[in-house]
């Protein structure tokens, strides 16, 4: 007994205790639900069997039924568009801003940090503000576009099936750009300056320096940031809840919102779990890429 | 062009960029000061010529904002306390050693960090309802948020512990401290700032959390402000000045903390996210 107590205060036991309790907590509250999710996707779950773990086993029936639905592929396509367009927008604008703020001038780092406000705000608030700005008749975005002569009639961002998904993408690009910019700035500041001096002596112009020095030196940071972007974009839920609720008629629905909608609006927990399993597999793939690319950065 | 003029020009462009980027925030604040009819004016007013401050009073009382914000505060405080208590020690051990087990632990933590809340809520909800945890909805949400955000906290705080020189701890051990003593007297005080900044980041996240609260908390008297804001925004809403006032009251404390601690928060965030 004394030996155990001694180990806990002054030996290996101390380390093991410090790690075991949080890891146990995480496994109980994230690991178990993960497995339970897989189990539910193979079961028939309804309001009556919600209280029991042992439910009728249906094999792959949930998966088959899911892919037989007419809305499944359009929603997965929406998810792909949402992810691609959001990451592309966030990354390109973020990179541009990071390059601008890389030029050192007084106040640069403070102003750059201020951008992060968009990322720090609750998603619901960001969604509410963009919902109001994108409003059809009285929204300020439509007003500015009209004044600029870009549109002649108001765009009904939230209720027009052609624009609903893009309304959420627009808000999401705004939300994530600053985070991309901050991480890219870190990568940029790690590039040794003498590389540029040498290139300049050799007569390389700005564009050549960007392509032959900046991009190759940033390769692993860019990999990490893009996969982080994928992870964060697939987590985005609040904006959908605040702007379009997946409507009209699923035009702006994506998998991560659909899974929640099926479980908590239509009480089809088995279907919700089935989509969750598919998407979680996808997210885990992205995070393996992320871990690999950050590894390289630490070691290289 | 001299150095000083170049700096001034760059600063001017930077200010313009920041103004464009943060326009949505400005639009939120300015909408709260408009009257019910001025909100729908064409062209919209870009300057508060006739500010109406009473919208704040009206929203605060009619939407019962004190209760919503109180619940957000309870949930965020609970989650941060739980995460800090459990996560700090975990981050310390993962920073102090470098072996295969630590790699496995780190990998597990990174994997658990990426699970989207809206996908995890289905099994968590069903599991919690079977355990009877839904009778304590705010506690259930605290547990769910803690599980979701702890990995992020561990990653951030681990980066802080990495920067504490190990020799200091070894010196304390030679001087006769126990491991526990060295941890509490030497390592923790040195890592205090990093832990504090990470805790603040987690607090801001938990204060704005939506998915878990929306799904788990049915009773309106326990709902946090994010759920309150969501139910305020019906599909055909037109009280935009009131909604923006709700959002303003909700978000301004977070923004104030952020602007005050900006430097520390940004450096804490960047040191953890890429390592």
- For residue A207, the model assigns a pLDDT of 87
Number of domains in chain A: 1
A6 inside domain: no
Domain residue ranges of chain B, discontinuous segments joined by + = 65-223+260-273
Structure confidence at residue B272 (pLDDT): 62
DSSP lists the bridge partners of residue A43 as A57
Domain assignment present for residue A40? The answer is no
A115, A117, A272: residue with CB nearest B255: A117
Measured between alpha carbons, how far is residue A45 from residues A15, A72, A81, A191, A272 in Å?
42, 20, 31, 54, 10
Assess B130–A contact: CB distance below 8 Å, yes or no. Answer: yes
In this prediction, residue A295 has a pLDDT band, given cuts at 50, 70 and 90, of low
Burial (Cβ within 10 Å: 0-12, 13-18, ≥19) of residue A162: exposed
Q: Is A163:A157 a contact under the CB 8 Å cutoff?
A: yes
A26 falls within a domain: no
The mean per-residue pLDDT over the stretch A259-264 comes to: 91
Residue A294 — pLDDT band, cuts 50, 70, 90? low
Helices (H), ranges, B22-64: 23-32, 54-62
d(CA B94, CA B231): 42
Residue A217 and residue A235 in contact, taking contact as beta carbons nearer than 8 Å: no
Any A CB within 8 A of B77 CB: no
For testing contact with chain B, the best of A117, A259, A289 (most B CBs within 10 A)? A117
CA-nearest residue to B246 within chain A is A125
pLDDT single digits (tens) A85-138:
999 999 999 999 999 998 888 888 888 889 999 999 999 999 999 999 998 888
Distance CA B62, CA B65 (A): 8
Grouped pLDDT means (10 residues each) for chain B, 275 residues: 84 93 94 86 81 88 91 96 94 87 85 88 91 91 94 89 85 85 88 90 93 92 92 81 93 92 83 58
Which of the pair, A193 or B77, is modelled with greater confidence?
Answer: B77
Rounded CA gap, A248 and A159, in Å?
A: 6
Per-residue pLDDT at B274? 53
Here the tokens at position B222 are: 């326990």
Instruction: For residue A230, give Cα distances in angstroms to A37, A86, A94, B108.
Output: 22, 9, 15, 19
**A276/B119 CB distance under 8 A:** yes
Q: Is A147 in contact with A260 (CB distance < 8 Å)?
A: no
User: Which domain, by its residues, includes A270?
Assistant: 60-299
Domain B65-223+260-273 CATH superfamily: MetI-like (1.10.3720.10)
Q: Which of A89, A242, A79 is nearest to A176 (CA)?
A: A89
Which DSSP category does A153 fall into? S
Would you tell me which residues 207-266 of chain B have a C-beta closer than 8 angstroms to some C-beta of chain A?
207-211, 214-215, 226, 229-230, 233, 235, 240, 243-244, 246-247, 250-251, 254-255, 258-259, 262-263, 265-266
In a domain, A13, yes or no: no
Q: Is A35 part of a structural domain of the chain?
A: no
- Concatenate the DSSP letters of all residues of A88-124 into one string: HHHHHHHHHHHHHHHS--TTHHHHHHHTTHHHHS-HH
Q: A297 pLDDT band (50/70/90 cuts)?
A: very low
Determine which helix (DSSP H) or strand (DSSP E) holds A292, and give its type and residue range: helix A269-299
Give the integer Cα–Cα distance in Å for A237 and A245.
Answer: 10
For residue A132, the chain B residues in CB contact (below 8 A) are: 27-28, 31, 240, 243-244
pLDDT band at A58 (very low <50, low <70, confident <90, very high): confident
Higher per-residue pLDDT: B67 or A15: B67
Q: Are A170 and A134 in contact (CB under 8 A)?
A: yes
CA distance readout (Å), B84 to A38, B76, B79: 30, 12, 9
Task: Give the tens place of pLDDT for each residue, A152-187.
Answer: 888 888 888 999 999 999 999 999 999 999 989 888
Distance from the A202 Cα atom to the nearest Cα atom in chain B, whole angstroms: 24
Closest to A259 in 3D by CA, of A62, A27, A55, A57: A62
Burial call A139-155: b when 16+ CB within 10 Å, e when fewer: bbbbbeebeeeeeeebb
**CATH (domain of A165):** 1.10.3720.10
Task: Measure B55 CA to nearest chain A CA, in Å.
Answer: 17
| ipTM for the complex shown | 0.90
Is the omega angle on the peptide bond into residue B43 within 30 degrees of 0, that is, cis? yes
Q: Which chain A residue's Cα is nearest to B252?
A: A121
pTM for this prediction: 0.90
**CB distance from B136 to chain A under 8 Å?**
no
**Exposed, middle or buried by CB within 10 Å (0-12, 13-18, 19+), for A9?**
middle
């Amino acid at each position: 007994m004394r030996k155990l107590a001694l180990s806990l205060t002054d030996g290996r036991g101390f380390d093991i205790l410090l790690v075991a309790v949080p890891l146990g907590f995480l496994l109980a509250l994230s690991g178990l639900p993960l497995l339970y999710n897989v189990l539910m996707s193979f079961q028939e779950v309804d309001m009556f069997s919600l209280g029991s773990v042992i439910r009728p086993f249906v094999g792959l029936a949930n998966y088959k039924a899911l892919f037989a639905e007419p809305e499944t592929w359009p929603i997965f396509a929406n998810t792909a568009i949402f992810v691609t367009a959001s990451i592309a927008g966030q990354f390109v604008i973020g990179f541009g801003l990071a390059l601008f703020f890389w030029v050192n001038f007084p106040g640069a780092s403070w102003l750059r940090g201020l951008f992060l406000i968009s990322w720090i705000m609750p998603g619901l608030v960001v969604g509410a503000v963009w919902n109001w700005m994108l409003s059809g008749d009285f929204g300020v975005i439509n007003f500015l576009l009209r004044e600029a002569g870009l549109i002649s009639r108001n765009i009904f961002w939230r209720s027009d099936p052609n624009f609903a998904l893009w309304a959420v993408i627009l808000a999401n690009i705004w939300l994530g750009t600053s985070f991309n910019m901050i991480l890219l700035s870190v990568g940029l500041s790690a590039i040794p300056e003498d590389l540029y001096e040498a290139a300049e002596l050799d007569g390389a112009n700005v564009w050549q320096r960007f392509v032959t020095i900046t991009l190759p030196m940033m390769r692993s940071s860019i990999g990490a940031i893009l996969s982080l972007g994928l992870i964060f974009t697939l987590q985005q839920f609040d904006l959908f809840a605040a702007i379009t609720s997946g409507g009209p008629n699923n035009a702006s629905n994506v998998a991560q919102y659909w899974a929640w909608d099926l479980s908590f609006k239509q009480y089809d927990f088995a279907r919700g779990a089935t989509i969750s399993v598919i998407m979680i597999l996808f997210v885990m793939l992205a995070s393996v890429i992320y871990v690999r690319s950050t590894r390289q950065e630490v070691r290289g | 062009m001299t150095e000083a003029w170049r700096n001034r020009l760059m600063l001017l462009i930077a200010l313009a960029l920041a103004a464009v980027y943060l326009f949505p925030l400005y639009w939120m604040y300015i909408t709260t000061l408009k009257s019910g009819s001025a909100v729908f004016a064409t062209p919209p007013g870009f300057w508060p010529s006739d500010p109406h401050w009473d919208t704040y009073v009206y929203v605060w009382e009619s939407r019962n904002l004190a209760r919503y914000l109180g619940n957000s505060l309870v949930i965020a405080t609970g989650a941060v306390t739980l995460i800090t208590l459990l996560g700090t020690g975990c981050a310390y051990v993962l920073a102090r050693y470098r072996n295969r087990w630590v790699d496995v632990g780190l990998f597990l933590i990174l994997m658990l960090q990426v699970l989207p809340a809206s996908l995890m809520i289905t099994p968590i909800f069903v599991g919690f309802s079977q355990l009877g945890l839904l009778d304590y909805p705010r506690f259930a949400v605290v547990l769910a948020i803690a599980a979701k955000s702890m990995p992020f906290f561990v990653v951030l705080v681990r980066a802080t512990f990495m920067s504490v020189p190990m020799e200091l701890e070894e010196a304390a051990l030679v001087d006769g401290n126990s491991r526990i003593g060295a941890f509490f007297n030497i390592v923790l005080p040195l890592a205090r700032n990093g832990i504090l900044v990470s805790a603040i980041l987690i607090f801001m996240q938990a204060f704005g959390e939506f998915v878990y609260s929306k799904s788990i908390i049915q009773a309106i008297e326990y709902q946090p402000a994010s759920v309150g804001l969501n139910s305020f925004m019906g599909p055909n809403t037109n009280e935009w000045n009131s909604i923006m006032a709700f959002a303003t009251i909700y978000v301004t404390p977070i923004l104030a903390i952020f602007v005050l601690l900006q430097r520390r928060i940004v450096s804490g965030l960047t040191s953890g996210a890429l390592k």
